Amino acid sequence: MPGGQALDTLLSWAMYLGLTACVLGAIGAGAAIGVGSLSSRPHWAERGKVALVFSVIGAIVVGSAVSIVNTGFGMA
């Protein structure tokens, strides 16, 4: 398909940026958990835990997106 290589490159970069955002979110979530726990701010720690869960879920979805799409395409 014409332009397939450019599309593949674009999708690869999008996945890389998505995974990078998830890693940065996990780092920020860990910091919020630590700061919230040490400074007696339980709402920060709670938000950090929620952010960490969503960062991990986001990384799983981004990392397996190609397999999910290929499986769905094969079912059709």
Q: Decide which of 14 and 70 is more confident.
A: 14
Please give the residue range of the domain that contains residue 58. 12-75
**Residue 6 located in a structural domain:** no
Closest CA relative to residue 44, chosen from 34, 52, 54, 56: 34
**Residue 7 located in a structural domain:** no
Instruction: Output the pTM of the full model.
Output: 0.81
**Residue 2 located in a structural domain:** no
Dump pLDDT digits (tens) for 33-58: 999 999 999 999 999 999 999 999 99
Number of domains in the chain: 1
